[in-house]
Structure 1
Amino acid sequence: MSFHYNFGLPSLTSRSSTTVQRTTEEPPPNKTTQSTVICVYQANIAGYWRNVTVSWCRNLMHHSLHVSIESVGGEANYTCKIDVKPWNFWSKKGYKTIEVDGNQMEVYWDLRSAKFSGSPEPSSDYYVALVSDEEVVLLLGDYKKKAYKRTKSRPAFIDAVQYYKKENVFAKKSFSTRAKFDDRRESDIVVESSTSGPKDPEMWISIDGIVLIHVKNLQWKFRGNQTVRVNKLPVQVLWDVHDWLFSSSGTGTGHGLFIFKPGPSEAESEKEGSDLGDHESDDSGYYSTMSNDYQSTKSYTSNEFCLFLYAWKLE
């Protein structure tokens, strides 16, 4: 399954653009029941933007967190693995030291009070901090004061920004996730469906409790796109639920793919005379944060955020 829609957006790095494209084309095998949340950030480490991938994984036996930092040249990844639910309770709080391109970095975490709402990613009461040169270059969670106190490090001069989020959700009818479309707060996203029974298949997509998209006769409209508004911000929503209705795998499962992209559609951008396409990027795929282009670089990064939701239907 793959979309053929063109977002018409500039890419901060060529590798990140390739990664996002591959994400939409290579869903995980439908035989797995491992819920995953993968978030990719751009963080300033030792004067350069680098990709930092944070993966939360959970199945019946394990619940883990992986933090992966890409080298400047992109040839290597430096990974730190953390057990979210270890046998020893004290292991839910700790730190590890890793060396990235000759630079020593620390990963601190406190998951002892972490709350979860159906996702392998915590919803509150935790922190995960990535420290470089006594700066917290990436901070996840709402225990920010505790993180700074524990790490004895200052906030980063340049904030990390999220590039995209990919989540696999397993359910029968209702699939939920969260995403931050602006600087205010995270929004709750719920996709509900009715694909069995005497009535025609239907689908509802709601954000923050408000149904923004209602698709009737889903058997004829299993692929589509629509622009909605969340806190007055336009958000493009694309869906492909072909496998929900016509899967021939014989396994009793199928998945739908949903993409949520803040910003107007390509046609709307052209109508407004957007000049985003004139931005020139560094062919190396990394930006030195010491240059005068930082503000524009950060603006492009925040505008490129995408949420990929794989909704695996269990019968």
Structure 2
Amino acid sequence: MIDAWVHLLSLRCKLPGRSCLITITWTKTLMGQGLSVGIDDLADQCLRKVDIKPWLFSKRKGSKNLDVDSCTIQIYWDLANAKFGSGPEPLEGFYLALVFNQEMVLLLGDLKKEAYKKIEVDPVLHSNAICIARREHLFGKRFYGSKAQFCDKGQMHDVRIECDTVGLNDPCLVIRIDSKMVMQVKRLKWKFRGNHTIVVDGLPVEVFWDVHNWLFGNAMGNAVFMFQTCLSAEKLWGASHCTFDPSVLTWSCPQQISDSNSQGLVFSLVLYAWKHE
């Protein structure tokens, strides 16, 4: 069992003269909750990273400057009235903003009006960031839920995974989008790894699963699910031959996330599902 609950969000945005990846990581441990912001170039080289631990140091509102090459990026956050569920990521009552040259590069949270009142930015220039990946650790006995927006400016969907492997001779896997069953895997002991294409918002979404740990490994171990969208099924099949390495709890793909748009891949959601009693 891991000792940290992590939600990771990767976004692609444009700065003057370059595109970059912004990674937002929300964490929850026995020591408290934390937030980190990392900025990488498209060659996967870390340009700058800053850790914000508002719950440890009682600093739930503030700002920091990040020097990236010859640029200064300003980070603003207000988590004073943030409301949380069981996970590390706030549900409402917060904002997190990145500003460069009076332009709002990134704005997360529901307090957008409050952010624009607090931060001096050009109101005409809006965030150009596009979410290309999410990674989450989920905990449960049979049901595991998340939310995902599979295309830019699309609808937010509820994603639900159902799988009961305790005491069953023939367990099955069910995945629902907005309560509608979109796929079911029977004879799971023979099909503990695989992939299947579903359609969400008119786009094909390839679903990969690996539940080997649940069936044959540590009963308290994790399964991994990945939902990956694409512009066409042919592009998806040619661009995403992914493998899973249980020893490091990650999916490895030949193409970098930063190449996702050029390969036709738009968004990926990776869920690490842990069983607990």
TM class by shorter chain equals 0.7 to 0.9
Residue 108 (structure 1) aligns with: 76
Residue 178 (structure 1) aligns with: 147
2:177 is aligned, of 204, 207, 230, to 207
Whether the 8 Å CA contact 1:128–1:140 is kept in 2: the answer is yes
Q: Which of the two has greater strand per residue?
A: 2
Whether the 8 Å CA contact 1:227–1:264 is kept in 2: the answer is no
| Distance of 2:105 and 2:271 partners within structure 1 | 27
- In structure 2, do the counterparts of structure 1 residues 103 and 167 end up closer, same or farther at CA, with 3 Å as the change threshold? same
Whether the 8 Å CA contact 2:208–2:225 is kept in 1: the answer is yes
Q: Unaligned stretches of 5+ in structure 1?
A: 1-30, 275-284, 288-296
- In structure 2, do the counterparts of structure 1 residues 184 and 266 end up closer, same or farther at CA, with 3 Å as the change threshold? closer
Residue 197 (structure 1) aligns with: 167
Aligned partner letter, 1:132:
F
Aligned partner letter, 1:262:
T
1:134 is aligned, of 76, 99, 102, to 102
Confirm or deny that 1:152 pairs with 2:114: no
Q: Counterpart of 1:145 in 2: which secondary structure?
A: helix
TM-score by length of 2: 0.82
| Distance of 1:68 and 1:99 partners within structure 2 | 12
Whether the 8 Å CA contact 2:107–2:127 is kept in 1: the answer is no
* Deviations, residues 280-315 of structure 1 (Å, cap 9, x unaligned): xxxxx9x9xxxxxxxxx9965984311111112225
Aligned partner letter, 1:113:
N
Residue 231 (structure 1) aligns with: 201
| Distance of 2:135 and 2:86 partners within structure 1 | 15
Aligned partner letter, 1:45:
L
| Distance of 1:298 and 1:112 partners within structure 2 | 35
Q: Residues 67-146 of structure 1 correspond to what in structure 2 (within 5 A)?
A: 67-70=37-40, 75-86=45-56, 88=58, 91-146=59-114
Confirm or deny that 1:261 pairs with 2:228: yes
Residue 163 (structure 1) aligns with: 132
The percent of aligned pairs where both chains have the same amino acid is 35
Residue 15 (structure 2) aligns with: 45
Whether the 8 Å CA contact 1:44–1:158 is kept in 2: the answer is no
Q: Counterpart of 1:220 in 2: which secondary structure?
A: coil
| Distance of 1:303 and 1:160 partners within structure 2 | 16
What is the root-mean-square deviation in Å for CA atoms of aligned residues? 2.8
Residue 306 (structure 1) aligns with: 268
Structure 1 residue 193 displacement after superposition:
1.0
| Distance of 1:307 and 1:162 partners within structure 2 | 10
Residue 62 (structure 1) aligns with: 32
Aligned partner letter, 1:307:
L
Residue 13 (structure 1) aligns with: none
Q: Which of the two has greater helix per residue?
A: 1
Aligned partner letter, 1:255:
N
Structure 1 residue 268 displacement after superposition:
7.5
| Distance of 1:44 and 1:269 partners within structure 2 | 25
Residue 21 (structure 1) aligns with: none
Whether the 8 Å CA contact 1:236–1:264 is kept in 2: the answer is no
| Distance of 1:138 and 1:163 partners within structure 2 | 14
Q: Counterpart of 1:304 in 2: which secondary structure?
A: strand
Aligned partner letter, 2:229:
P
Q: Counterpart of 1:118 in 2: which secondary structure?
A: coil
Whether the 8 Å CA contact 1:54–1:68 is kept in 2: the answer is yes
| Distance of 2:33 and 2:169 partners within structure 1 | 39
Aligned partner letter, 1:261:
Q
Aligned partner letter, 1:253:
M
The total of aligned residue pairs comes to 257
| Distance of 1:269 and 1:54 partners within structure 2 | 26
Q: Counterpart of 2:84 in 1: which secondary structure?
A: coil
- In structure 2, do the counterparts of structure 1 residues 264 and 227 end up closer, same or farther at CA, with 3 Å as the change threshold? farther
- In structure 2, do the counterparts of structure 1 residues 230 and 74 end up closer, same or farther at CA, with 3 Å as the change threshold? closer
| Distance of 2:236 and 2:208 partners within structure 1 | 17
| Distance of 2:42 and 2:198 partners within structure 1 | 38
